[in-house]
Chains A and B, each alone.
Chain A
Amino acid sequence: MGKVIACYKWVPDEADIKINSDHTIDLSKAKWKISDYDKNAIEAAVQAAQVLEGKAVSLTFGGANAKSSLKDALSRGPDEACWINSDLASEADGFVTATVLAAAVRKMEDVSLVICAEGASDTYARQITPRLGAELDWPVITSVSNISINGNTIRAERQLDDCIQTVEAELPAVISVLPEVNDAPLPSLKAVIAASKKPVTELGDKDLGITDLTSKTRVQSQKAYVMIRKNIIFTEGDALDQVKELVGNLKKEGIL
């Protein structure tokens, strides 16, 4: 039966990001982790693989430090892991990442479904799923909050701003899931121990036979922004007047 691939990104933990006084960003002390949203993607893939009676495979495109992610990913349930180890990952844009992931999916053969998160917790560019679908020429369903699979058909609920849309597609397909899709459980002790015995495939970008791997966009700078506070204090009149004035101001700002 077909494989289900979960794509994930190895990202710096946002809790450890420091902002320097010139607003530049310091990642030197950050620990790295699997992007939180991707944990739901991995769980969704494990569940889908059970339904399809196939294997769940985790897939990541990352630099040398992403090696530390493999055990964590596998302890979340996939049967195998694949790591595209490449220095290009750190500066890759949506084009490069999707090209690499698509090539890896093609190489794996017999893939029924690829599951990504809606976006990564660091850049949240939301490009990979649509680009990957286009690369592979497979149907794409985004913003998925519920999945059911019947035979060769996937039926997905898409959570939109104010309604839920139900979409069907034939497999193979590419979908991106929202955190609502499941509550990715913490790995258990046995799962952590079992993870170390599962197979890992490591490939370089050269092994994928891709000709063009230059980013089409280049990040020029990355800086924290400063929120300018209005610092208004209402002092006129009694408490009732002050509350009225506060509410009036909030309405004027369009907040209420």
Chain B
Amino acid sequence: MSAEEKFDVIIIGAGPAGSACAYILARAGKNVLMVERGSSPGSKNVTGGRLYTYALEMVEPGLYKQAPLQRRVVREQIMMLGENSAVNIDYVNYDFGEDVPQSYTVLRAPFDEWFANEAEKQGAFVASGILVDGLIEENGKIVGIKAGEDEMYADVVVAADGVNSFIAQKAGLRPDIPAHTLGIGVKEIIELPDEIIAARFNLQGDQGAAKVAIGCSDGIAGGAFIYTNKGSISLGLVLNPEQVGQKGRSIQEILQDFKMHPAILPLLEGGKTVEYGAHLVPEQGYQGVPSRLYRDGLLVVGDAAGFVINTGTIIRGIDLAIISGAAAANAILNSIEGTHAGPLYMEELQKLALLPTMKMFAGWHSIISIPRMYKEYPELANDVMRFMFTVDGQVPEKMSKAMMNIAKRHVAVKQMLGDGWKLFKSV
């Protein structure tokens, strides 16, 4: 093996996890190769919308200021949609993003390209347009990668290849991933002038809004999101693919219905869809993290490791990807030429609060799997509001009785108590 064919570390995938890892390793002088199958980093990434910037701070203080960020999120909105109505919770905090940079909306194509470029500036070698299709194993240790005819060796290989990680499966760390553990995400980018976005979402300057909605998925487990960018909004759905199949509906149809909802359409009107994409999301939270995240010579980071938190109101994957990439880099730097980097990586995941955070949210998966969350409860909320705001000259029903009736119309009391207990227990 010549020096030409060996790197200190090879990273598979130039998403946020891969680039964070490459950045830190290259900065420390490691000889790093990052391989990306897309024609450029970001070209395969259609996901997402918002980034919690604390994660970039952990890679390099101040780095986020150079990133191609869109808008600073100051407005958080939760919508519960009824047939022809909507309950909207609107929380605005103008301190968000001032001192503690909290979150910004991002467009993944430019963001990923920028981040990989920063890693390159630190000295990492980025090879785009190359699909890694195998690992090289010697005496039970992963010692390199295969891409077509070519083989390339490294002390450590990092699998940052995203959800449904082919590499982690190849290495025997993950079984074939069953459909019910994944969500399917679809997303559109809709162009609108900034003045219109500001007016429709009640924003000023670089302020942004993040909106999540439930009750828009025909009873299928899942929800919608809308993020405001510069000159565009990102809009999408994350749904349970099995239930979509059982309902016999297409995701495209459900997305279309959501866009046509009378409470959503006015936000989009006049806009032009310029990008459309679909992508999978790990949905099981802590339960979905494989029991082993490393092998001798291999570390698994980001979506490949199942590091996504989805509470229904926030989805965090990009930040956890970055943190896990940083944890892997730290572990490799603390090891001697990568030996025993695995246990060090697990320690780093604890130290950087990633695993404890995932554990904290572990119960959420059982809440978002309550089927009534997606139809009955949003409808119930809308009915309550209708009752409260209906004035028609008649003697209104007694409040407590009316509430009871509305509740019973949607959910059996026993079920509601059960769901309430589940909620209490899980959170």
0/1 per residue, B131-155, Cβ < 8 Å to A? 0000000000000000111101000
- Scan residues 203-223 of chain A and give those whose CB is less than 8 A from a CB of chain B: none
User: For chain A, which range describes its interface: under 10, 10 to 19, 20 to 34, or 35 or more residues?
Assistant: 10 to 19
A189 within 8 A of B: yes
Of the listed residues A189, A190, A192, the one surrounded by the most CB atoms of chain B closer than 10 A to its CB is: A189
Is B4 part of the contact surface with A, judged by Cβ < 8 Å? yes
Secondary structure at the B interface, as helix, strand, loop or mixed, is strand
Residue of B nearest to A194 (CB): B4
**Digit string of A177-199 for contact with B (CB within 8 Å is 1, else 0)?**
00000000011111011101000
Confirm or deny: A31 has a beta carbon within 8 angstroms of a beta carbon on chain B.
yes
Is B224 in contact with chain A by the CB < 8 A criterion? Answer: no
Residues of A within 8 Å of B147, CB to CB, are: 188-189
Number of chain B interface residues as a range: 10 to 19
The reply to whether B127 and A189 contact each other, CB–CB distance below 8 Å, is yes
User: Which of B127, B128, B274 has the most chain A CB within a 10 Å cutoff?
Assistant: B127
Q: Are B129 and A190 in contact (CB under 8 A)?
A: no
**Cβ of B35 and Cβ of A189 under 8 Å apart?**
yes
Interface residues of A in 39-74 (CB under 8 A from B): none
Known: A31-B40, A188-B149, A188-B150. A193 touches B129 (CB 8 A): no
Q: Which residue in B129, B152, B274 is a CB contact (below 8 Å) of A186? A: B129
Instruction: Report whether B129 and A192 are in contact in the complex, using a CB–CB cutoff of 8 Å.
Output: yes
A143-171 residues with Cβ-Cβ distance < 8 A to B are: none
Flag if A189 contacts B152 (CB, 8 Å). yes
- Is B407 close to A, CB under 8 A? no
* Chain A residues with CB below 8 A from B4, complex form: 193-194
Q: Report the bound CA distance from A192 to B126 in whole Å.
A: 9
Question: Taking the complex as formed, is B403 at the interface, i.e. its CB lies under 8 A from any CB of chain A?
Answer: no
Q: Are A196 and B35 in contact (CB under 8 A)?
A: no
Nearest neighbor of B146 in chain A, beta-carbon distance: A189
Most buried by B among A31, A186, A193: A193
Kindly identify, within residues 18 to 40 of chain B, every residue whose CB is under 8 Å from any CB belonging to chain A: 33, 35, 40
Q: Find residues 250-281 in chain B having any chain A CB closer than 8 Å to their own CB.
A: 274
Most buried by A among B130, B149, B152: B130
Chain B's closest residue to A13 (CB) is B39
- Interchain CA distance A18-B4 in the complex, whole Å: 42
* Complex alpha-carbon distance, A68 and B52, angstroms: 31
Chain B positions near chain A (C-beta within 8 angstroms): 4-5, 33, 35, 40, 125, 127-130, 147-150, 152, 274
A-B contacts, 9 of them at CB < 8 A, read A31-B40, A186-B129, A187-B130, A188-B149, A188-B150, A189-B127, A192-B128, A192-B129, A193-B4
